[in-house]
Structure 1
Amino acid sequence: MYRTGLSLLAVFAMAGTAFADILDEARIGVMQHNVCVTDCNNADKEDGPNISAELVFSSPDFLSVVLAPRPYVMGSLNTSGNTSYGAAGLIWNFSLTERLSFEPGVGYALHDGALHSPFPQGDPQGDAFTSNHVLLGSKDLFRTSLALNYAISDRWGAQALYEHLSHGQILGNGRNQGLDNVGLRVTYALGN
């Protein structure tokens, strides 16, 4: 867990200095890890909230043909040593009012969680393992997200976020229990 956290911090530090001219926004918050949204059979298997941090970049010109999404890189560190992950992708922002906006996103994530049980089927240790771990089936996952943003001021904002991670039987096969996380983050617009 600590290696993953240090790696995520290093990525953010490098990205922040290398991309200072195109860096648009920074976000940090707390996510409730593995909650029940649609499939409650695997919810609450892993303990601890996740600390989520994200850097959002200005939309490059070539993405204007698909409604100008902004690229992002993010990391989510589980505070109890369970599944942590990093992701990169695209987010779109649609204004609803002067202060409120809706933000869907898609991305690609890598995680350090369990893929499958290390114990043979029927082994009591396997039952204990699967009752405490989400079995994700693939080291790489899709990350989809939906957020509601509220602008507190020109620079500061708040975000309510839902995210789902799963391989969708495309990036992997077999086990695909997936993760659903919900939480709140503080946003800071860097702007030039």
Structure 2
Amino acid sequence: MIPMHRFSLAIAGMCAVPAQAGEVFAGAYVHEVDTPFTLYTGESGADAELGYRFDPIEQLGAIGKPSPYVIASLNTGGGTSFAGVGLSWKIGKGPVYVRPGVGLVVHDGPSERIDPFTGRHTELGSRVLFEPEIAVGTQVTERVAIEVSWVHISQGRIFNAQQNPGIDMIGVRFNWRL
């Protein structure tokens, strides 16, 4: 008969999961940058972004082992803020890399906003939006990286075919590996 404490240790050893250490990221962004992907919404200010990126999912090797992330962005000018989840891929093994990502976010922008000069609707068309992004980064130390990134939020005319102003943000974020 196996003593109970050895049996417990054996079960605990079989169930042990390796520690997962992700990274925290924080950044500052210019809100509503004029790009070909957006229309003017009348918003301004800066955005403070905070997020957490989990380790890559090894089981999704067929699509490049993406890292899940959670993100929150607060607009300092009273414009649209958002929070959501997504997947990102770190491409490159050297000190410089590219990090594309795609997610879904929920925002607090107005449900109806009309430009008084053009009569055009400038609300985002849906409470849930797509959040594609791309960053170019450099590894400063083993635990610290800096990225210049573009983040876009819009509904891609899927939820409202009549309009899709979208909002682009461009900024810098710092990543801290835990």
> If the length of structure 1 is used for normalisation, what is the TM-score?
0.76
Select 1:74's aligned residue among 71, 79, 93. 71
Cα distance in 1, alignment partners of residues 38 and 107 from structure 2: 21
What letter corresponds to residue 170 of structure 1 in structure 2? I
Work out which of the two has the higher radius of gyration on C-alpha atoms and give 1 or 2.
2
Count of residues paired in the alignment: 160
Change (3 A) 1:91 1:40: closer
**How does 1:41-80 map onto structure 2 within 5 Å?**
41-42=39-40, 45-80=42-77
Cα distance in 2, alignment partners of residues 79 and 175 from structure 1: 25
User: Structure 1 residue runs of 4+, over 6 Å off?
Assistant: none
Change (3 A) 1:83 1:159: same
Unpaired runs of at least 5, structure 2: 1-18
1:38 counterpart residue number: 36
Note if contact 1:144-1:165 (Cα within 8 Å) is conserved in structure 2: yes
Note if contact 1:23-1:55 (Cα within 8 Å) is conserved in structure 2: no
Cα deviation 1:121-161 (Å, max 9, x = unaligned): xxxxx617x79x94101100000001001111001111100
Note if contact 2:71-2:83 (Cα within 8 Å) is conserved in structure 1: yes
Cα distance in 1, alignment partners of residues 38 and 128 from structure 2: 22
What letter corresponds to residue 69 of structure 1 in structure 2? P
Give the C-alpha shift of residue 176 in structure 1: 1.2
Cα deviation 1:142-187 (Å, max 9, x = unaligned): 0000100111100111110001111012244433100111000111
Note if contact 1:115-1:175 (Cα within 8 Å) is conserved in structure 2: no
- Do structure 1's residue 86 and structure 2's residue 112 form an aligned pair? no
Cα distance in 1, alignment partners of residues 166 and 37 from structure 2: 9
> If the length of structure 2 is used for normalisation, what is the TM-score?
0.81
1:175 counterpart residue number: 163
2:100 counterpart residue number: 104
Note if contact 1:141-1:171 (Cα within 8 Å) is conserved in structure 2: no
Change (3 A) 1:159 1:41: same
**What's the Cα RMSD here?**
2.3
Q: Which has the higher helix share?
A: 1
- What is the identity percentage for the equivalent residue pairs of Structure 1 and Structure 2? 30
Note if contact 1:46-1:134 (Cα within 8 Å) is conserved in structure 2: no
